[in-house]
Amino acid sequence: MTTSLSAATDPDTLPRDVPGEATFVEANGRTFHVVEAGPEGGDLVLLLHGFPEFWYGWHDQIRPLVNEGYRVVVPDQRGYNRSERPGRVRDYRIEALSADVTGLIDAYDRETAAVVGHDWGGVVGWWTALHSPGRLSSFVAVNAPHPTVIRQTLTSDPAQLLRSGYAAFFQLPKVPEALTRAANWRLPVAMMRESSMPGTFSTQDFDRYRAAWRKEGAFTAMLNWYRAAARRRPEPEADEVAVPTRLIWGVHDQFLKHRMAYDSVDHCADGRITNIQEATHWVHHEQPVKVADVICDELA
């Protein structure tokens, strides 16, 4: 069965209110699909999405950043949507994902960039801030804890381990993606809908997500991020983040305990938290203007 998509729901078509254009960029030996917007001479900002999103997860924040004069680049991260999908689980180790970030900075001929990451995008951002601090001018993590905090909390807090239980299911080979595809992606749709504020995601939003997920090999690649993390858990070479850091936290996150935000700031030489009420793990969708304002404030 073939599915026709209108321009409004095609994941590869920019919504009318989103400036910029889609293109492909070579970075770190891989090909990435990216959305570029803003003046070419503006300071570079990379927006990194999390699971199970793709570049579209940041669509509400692109215009506000462009209006401030930034050059905004929003990639589909490794394996997602239209970006290259290497076949081995080991290709999704955190070191490779972080090297993609510095590779993208190189691809735009910049020494540094501001990095903003949500969920897994934030995890990649933390690792990059710890291992390549000279490449980041600033870092904003959105509902994404410091890697040391993740490890310590998972080993000491049974409640957090329970919240993260879905990751254990993802370790099964082939089963999660087969079940998810057979159910027409109802599992990730239900996860996003039930863990967000009512009305956060529209039918058109989910049409876009389904179209990205059903691309050949995409969902397996997305799950390989979790599989690679479980098979090999490297400790960061440093523990304190020297890069100026802002945490944005939707306080009603069902997946991550709020305490992890405060513990993460304790690992920053220059870190601050902005808590956003009436928001969940999906705060950048629920409070898009507030999130954009905080990002612009941190980058100014």
Instruction: Give the CA distances from residue 274 to residues 65, 217, 262, 279, in Å, rounded to whole numbers and listed in that order.
Output: 18, 37, 10, 12
- Distance between CA atoms of residues 220 and 227, nearest Å: 10
**HEC-encoded secondary structure of 84-134:** CCCCCHHHHCHHHHHHHHHHHHHHCCCCCEEEEEECHHHHHHHHHHHHCHH
- Distance between CA atoms of residues 66 and 142, nearest Å: 19
Residue 155's contacts (CB-CB under 8 Å, 6 or more residues apart) are none
- Considering 226, 253, 267, 285, which one is annotated as catalytic? 226
226 tagged catalytic: yes
- Considering 33, 281, 284, 285, which one is annotated as catalytic? 281
Q: Give strand pairing partners of 22.
A: 35
- Considering 100, 119, 205, 253, which one is annotated as catalytic? 119
- Distance between CA atoms of residues 262 and 247, nearest Å: 9
What is the per-residue DSSP string for 178-211? HHHHHTTTHHHHHHHHHTS-TTSS-HHHHHHHHH
Are the C-beta atoms of residues 281 and 195 closer than 8 Å to each other?
A: yes
- Distance between CA atoms of residues 12 and 26, nearest Å: 18
Report, as residue numbers or ranges, the catalytic residues: 119, 226, 281
